[in-house]
Amino acid sequence: MKRDWIPLLLIPLLGVAAFPLVGSPASWVTLTVAGLAMGLMIFVMASGLTLTFGLMDVLNFGHGAFIAVGAFVAATVMLALGAWMQADSIWLNLAAFLPAILAAMVVSGALGLVFERVIVQPVYGQHLKQILVTTGGLIVAEQLLKLVWGPDQITLARPTALRGAFLIGDIAIEKYRLLAVVIGLLVFAALALTLSRTRIGLLIRAGVENGEMVEALGYRIRRLFVGVFVVGSALAGLGGAMWGLYQETVTAGIGAQVIVLVFIVIIIGGLGSVGGCFVGALLVGLTANYIGFLAPKVALGSNILLMALILLWRPQGLYPVAKR
Amino acid sequence: MLRALLSDDLPRSRWLAIVLLVILLGLAFAPFLFPGAKSLNVAAKICVFIVLAASFDLLLGYTGIVSFAHTMFFGIGAYGVAIALTRLGAGWDSVALGVAGGLALAIVLAALIGLFSLRVRTIFFAMITLAVASAFLILASQLSDLTGGEDGLNYRLPLALRASFRPFDGVNGRVLDYYLVYVVSLALVLMLLRIVNSPFGSVLMAIRENPFRAEAIGYRTVVYRTLASCIAAATAALAGALLALWSSQTNPDTTLSFDIMVDILLMVVIGGMGTMYGAAIGAVLLVLAQNYLQALVGDRWLLWLGVAFILCVYFFPTGIVGRLRRR
């Protein structure tokens, strides 16, 4: 199969184009790292959504609920382990951070399972009802969040080891952003390897391409889909936890806040394509940071503009999935 | 006469007819039946939201597309009037200019979004409208020179609509303002009723039922969907203008926020998709619930409405009106 490299080239192109506009190399590096970190966090949240769409033609407007739940669960665990978070040892910090994101993933994944069973399952194949019902699920979930955690925002301090920045010359790189880049790349690598090297990945890719054929060969695509949905929800929870720590506050509206970026990313990438989602997320993250630096007032508008430009160029997104 | 007025779309159920009559008359005599500033405010809100929900139903119930940008058009209409009244003074000419400007912007934006995203797939439309609407919300709160930012705008209404204006005993400018809102709302709802019962409306329903077939018969679905989206946007903008003329203040929370979008969705789905009457009943229920139910059920009433919403989509896709008509 011929690889399509052009969309991938957009990322360095964008970086190079922004360089003369930003001016100083130090701010450029800072902005680029920030953009990559933001993009990768969005990618973590968006990957599950785009896969469930590709596999079962299900678009979950309630995806934001998993992001919010992840953020709240992680915040609760981290606040409970507050002493370890504030300790001056990286190992104690990690001992608080890792359980927090694990708990976020487990709870979000479990919620995803319930959501799939109760909300999504009865409306397969009906787009209108899917949009309505999953939006209804989002309304209910948001209210439940307020019921459990109260309506106020939670302030969250980063663990000691992740505060501050590395200084290389006059270039400052925030430690937490570096961690976000590492986690995001790990998730991408894990997803890419699973999809391209394992049997389950093969089935998922085949299912995205032609679900009926996979079923005719005797595989239960339904079960596969539930698995993908749960993993996608867990990843949304992970992304939400990371995002909450990135913003250092968690509110019930966090899901609604991020879901817009997530949608833009999966539209740009081409609905159903993980690779496209990755490229789209990085483009969105970088654009948001460069424009946020150059012209703060139009930062969110810039993402819409980016989406419009890419859709003018490729109306189905960067990597259209063949079937649809 | 009645048939012509309702465009031959009669309630077709005794109970539905009674409910609608109660709403119509209750709103018509609201200033005298329920005196007091709060209840008049609720009645005016009900009128505005009936128009807003009915115009959303044109998209959701009749054409089968979901837009999350409906509050954006509502807000454009409201800000059009608000900005004109703030900048140009409290006269009817500035109201006319504001309404015209808001309408034009709403229609152009709706056409652009429609042509851009309805061409590919309708699910794109839902996502893109969500993105555009949230960008617009941020834009409105950032451009504080023009829109007053988060606080919004406070402005003076034309003289005839102020509380201090008393043409004769027992009637003041607020009552006149209410009847302005009432009459325009009624006219807009009847207009929407006319549209959905016209040949154009039949094409929209055909597209909802089976877009491929509609295309095959020779109707360009993109054009029809975009037109429906433009009409809905224009009507929503007019509803927004009415709200601005009623409340003499316009801010992002009351016109643009996502909460209002959720309210409209709840109204249309619980009231009954694909029936203008359903939108009216849903709007009455929800505005009453917001203003009076909070005291009875507490803060979490939205939770129960959300559950009711999901149950409606599953079990009663035609909502309350469908139930009433089945008897």
Q: Say which residue, B48 or B125, is predicted with more confidence.
A: B48
Is some CB atom of chain A closer than 8 A to the CB atom of B187?
no
State whether residue A324 sits within 8 Å of chain B by CB: yes
Residue A187 near residue A239 (C-beta atoms within 8 A): no
Cα distances (angstroms) measured from residue A90 to each of A39, A86, B33: 26, 10, 70
Q: Helix (H, G, I), strand (E, B), or coil: what is residue A171?
A: strand
Residue B295 has pLDDT above 80, yes or no: no
* Residue A274 Cα to chain centre, angstroms: 11
ipTM over 0.95: no
**Mean pLDDT for the stretch of residues A302-317:** 85
Nearest to B131 among A135, A263, A315 (CB): A263
Query: Would an 8 Å CB–CB cutoff place B258 in contact with chain A?
Result: yes
Q: Which residues pair with A172 in a beta bridge?
A: A167
Interface of A with B in 152-171 (CB under 8 A): none
Q: Which residue, among A68, A258, A252, has the nearest Cα to A143 in the 3D structure?
A: A252
Non-local CB neighbours of A34 within 8 Å, separated by 6+ positions? A174, A177, A285, A289
Residue B142 has pLDDT above 90, yes or no: no
Find the mean pLDDT for residues A37-55. Answer: 89
Give per-residue pLDDT as tens, A167-198: 777 777 888 888 899 999 999 999 989 988 99
Residue A155 pairs in a beta bridge with: A249
| Among B38, B198, B204, B69, residue whose Cα is nearest residue B131 | B69
In chain B the domains, ranked by start, together with CATH numbers, are: 2-326 (1.10.3470)
Decide if A307 and B119 are in contact by the 8 Å CB cutoff.
Answer: no
Mean pLDDT, rounded, of chain A: 86
Cβ atoms within 10 Å, residue A296: 9
Confidence tier at B46 by pLDDT (50, 70, 90): very high
The secondary structure of residue B9, as a DSSP letter, is -
Tokens of B30: 């609201």
Q: Which two tokens stand for residue A56?
A: 């079962």
What is the arithmetic mean of pLDDT over B20-48?
91
Check CB contact of A302 with chain B, cutoff 8 Å.
no
Contact B116 A264 (CB under 8 A): no
Please tell me the distance in Å from A8's CA to the nearest CA on chain B.
23
Token pair of B266, please?
């709840």
Are the beta carbons of A159 and A176 closer than 8 angstroms?
A: no
Q: Calculate how close chain B gets to A273, using CA atoms only, in Å.
A: 15
Between CA A254 and CA A239 the distance in angstroms is 11
Exposed (0-12), middle (13-18) or buried (19+): which is B35, by Cβ within 10 Å? exposed
Q: Note whether A149 contacts B: Cβ–Cβ < 8 A.
A: no
DSSP letter at B91? Answer: S
For residues B294 and B291, give the distance between their C-alpha atoms in angstroms, rounded to a whole number. Answer: 7
B223 has a pLDDT exceeding 80: yes
Given this model, what pLDDT does residue A2 score? Answer: 56
Q: Contact B131/A307, CB-based, under 8 Å?
A: yes
A263 and B262: CB-CB below 8 Å? no
Question: Do B131 and A301 lie within an 8 Å CB cutoff?
Answer: no
H runs (alpha helix) in A23-81: 25-56, 63-80
Q: How many CB pairs under 8 A join A and B?
A: 90
Long-range pairs, A16-19, Cβ under 8 A, ≥24: A18/A286, A18/A290
For B264, how many CA atoms within 13 A lie in the half-sphere containing its CB? 32
Domains of chain A listed by start with CATH number: 6-313 (1.10.3470)
What is the C-alpha separation between B29 and B188, in angstroms, rounded? 19
Confidence at residue A324, expressed as pLDDT on a 0 to 100 scale: 45
Task: Answer yes or no: is pLDDT of B159 > 90.
Answer: no
pTM of the predicted model as reported, rounded to 2 decimal places: 0.89
Mutate which: A129, A132, A258, A312, vs B, most B CBs within 10 A: A132
Other CB atoms within 10 Å distance of the CB of residue B34: 13
Compute the nearest-CA separation of A234 from chain B (Å): 22
- A133 and B313 within 8 Å at the Cβ level: the answer is yes
- Identify the residue among A260, A261, A304 best suited for mutation to test binding to B, counting B beta carbons within 10 A and taking the highest: A260
Query: Are the C-beta atoms of B165 and B176 separated by less than 8 Å?
Result: yes
| Secondary structure of residue B244 in the 3-state scheme | helix
- How far away is chain A from the Cα of B303, in angstroms, using its nearest Cα? 5
| Facing residue for B306 by CB, picked from A140, A303, A315 | A140
Distance CA A24, CA A19 (A): 8
Residues 48-77 of A with CB under 8 A from B: 59, 61
The enclosing H or E element of B101 equals helix B92-117
**Is B140 in contact with B275 (CB distance < 8 Å)?**
no
pLDDT tens, A238-277? 999 999 988 888 888 788 878 889 999 998 988 888 889 9
Q: Which residues pair with A174 in a beta bridge?
A: A165
CA–CA–CA angle B196, B199, B204 (5° rounding): 55
Q: Which of A59, A132, A311 sits opposite B123 (nearest CB)?
A: A59
- The helix (H) or strand (E) run that includes residue B267 is helix B258-271
User: B63, B313, B314, B318: which to substitute to probe chain A, counting the most A Cβ within 10 Å?
Assistant: B313
Pairwise CA distance, residues A273 & A205, whole Å = 10
Classified as helix, coil or strand, B265 is helix
Closest to A125 measured CA to CA, from A222, A28, A197, A19: A222
Cα dihedral A286, A288, A294, A298 in deg (nearest 10): 160
Predicted confidence (pLDDT) at residue A1 exceeds the cutoff of 60 = no
pLDDT at B206: 94
Residue B203 scores a pLDDT above 90: yes
Mutant choice from A263, A313, A321 vs B, greatest count of B C-beta within 10 A: A263
Q: Which residue of B has its CA nearest to A130?
A: B313
Q: Do B134 and A260 touch (CB under 8 A)?
A: yes
Q: What is the pLDDT of residue B61?
A: 92
pLDDT of residue B300: 77
